[in-house]
Structure 1
Amino acid sequence: MRRFWNHAVAVARPEGGHAVLLDGRPLRLPGGAPLATRSAALAEAIAAEWQAAGGAKDGEMSMEEVPLTRLLGTAQDRVAADPAGLVEGLVRYAETDLLCYRAEDPALAVTQAREWQAWLDWAAAAHGAPLVVTEGLMPVAQPAESLARLRDALAGRTVEELAALGLAVPVLGSLVLGLALAEGRLAAEEAHRLASLDETFQETRWGEDAEALDRRARGAADVALAERFLALVRA
């Protein structure tokens, strides 16, 4: 896309909430609806990313330069249409939550128990959702009551919060870590470090792989974006 605007600004909408104007025209979603948010802080941040977009490439820009816009657009255009569908998709991550699967390698298993168990304990205490831990990769059934409690923990969230979780949880492979991030109990960097425990342990033995490092960096950026988006939505 080539930059076609000079000024991006956040404004209050007469009908409530906030929008972003590009040279006085509302920033719109692909379907035509104006992008809107209840958060003045998020609208300001989106205006800032559009003001900066295209500045480094002679006016050429890509949507990679406006990640907050993409995430709010996902919330408004997709999640709002079927929040229950996303909730069910997120609950499925709890059915095979990363934190529940411990390695057969004793050294790695000890590290996993030390780093992960506290967050499973937190899920049990904070959400009434104890999860079963197993060794190896064979699937283990999780208590239906625990899954129902985690579903309840998601069902009351806004579409913006669900969109952020929809970005972070697949990267983390853990609904427990995702909820801890969303509730401010874990910072994005630490959540991603915990989710990468197996990879980083293997790297100490076999060395680093450039492709894996690149993939992990992209994942870390997505989790950090989800954290920032949540903070702006709630500001």
Structure 2
Amino acid sequence: MMNSDNDNNEDESTAAIFDLARNRSLDEQVSHPGREKRKLPKRFYKKAEAGPHEEGHAILLDGRAVKTPSKRPLAVPVLALAEAVAAEWEAQKDEIDPRSMWLTKLANTAVDLVAPRREAVIDELATYAGTDLLCYRAEHPDVLVARQAALWDPLLAWAAEKGIAFTSTSGIVHVAQPEASLEAYREALRALDPFRLAALHNAVTLTGSAILGLAVTLGRIAPEEAFDIAHLDEHWQMELCGHDEEEAARLAVRRSELLETGRFIRLLG
């Protein structure tokens, strides 16, 4: 029988582990991971592995399927991804630290927050695209202006080839993007499954650019390149003002998650 009180408690445990992370904003999670001073749950299982599921591939703890925070089965479409998520669970020591489980977080997000509301997520991302980082350029100095043009213009040209033609400007005054371009962006997102869409959402949040997020998701550029392009201004400031340890640490955490987001996408095949 699979419905004992102990079994139910284990179901509650796997669902509850990520509840806090789900309810915090993504920016809080990636910008200040060390702020979370809470007691971590104890590891309650001996073995984590991937296994077959009617919706794809499940993550099994001692043979029982992991649940998402919304109590749905954590099932992913590709075995390689399921094995990588299971490896995160297997790597946990005496305590389970969700902050070390980026792939699990993204899979939870896809199942709980993206799949049930795909069109709403797409609309959110299209709204974000209306203020894309790559469209707002420095007015000076000339060296920074040239760097932005060299790194950002090719990506805008790539997007324009897909019908996503965005207008750029100097300074911070808002420039409205053509509705046809925003609709083309929506159409590009509609071609993505919930898992790739969740990864894209993460990439957009971490880079500040809907175009960079799409480029990473479609394999146009590597995550590490996207991160450097997105944080060109911060690196420029460090060149001028010297190394800032706190800022460097914050960027390192965000870079790490973007790399894991890229890994998530690659595992999807």
Could you tell me which residue of structure 2 aligns to residue 2 of structure 1? 42
Could you tell me which residue of structure 1 aligns to residue 84 of structure 2? 45
Q: 2:51 aligns with which of 1, 4, 11?
A: 11
SS in 2 for 1:81: helix
Could you tell me which residue of structure 1 aligns to residue 69 of structure 2? 30
Aligned residues: 228
TM-score by length of 2: 0.82
RMSD of aligned residue pairs (Cα, Å): 1.1
**What is the aligned-residue identity percentage?**
43
Could you tell me which residue of structure 2 aligns to residue 203 of structure 1? 238
SS in 2 for 1:9: strand
* Shift in alpha-carbon separation, 1:112–1:18, aligned structure 2, 3 A: same
Matches of 2:261 and 2:55 in 1, distance apart?
A: 24
TM-score by length of 1: 0.94
Could you tell me which residue of structure 2 aligns to residue 184 of structure 1? 219
**Which whole-Å deviations, capped at 9, do the CAs of 1:141-199 have from their partners, x for residues lacking one?**
11111111111111121100111011110111111111111111100000000001011
Could you tell me which residue of structure 1 aligns to residue 60 of structure 2? 21
Matches of 1:103 and 1:30 in 2, distance apart?
A: 42
Contact 2:55-2:75 within 8 A present in 1 as well: no
Does residue 154 of structure 2 align to residue 118 of structure 1? Answer: yes
- How far residue 10 of structure 1 moved from its aligned partner, in angstroms, is 0.8
Superposition pairs of residues 34-183 of structure 1, within 5 angstroms = 34-54=73-93, 59-105=94-140, 106-125=142-161, 127-183=162-218
Unaligned runs of 5+ in 2: 1-40
Unaligned runs of 5+ in 1: none
- How far residue 219 of structure 1 moved from its aligned partner, in angstroms, is 1.4
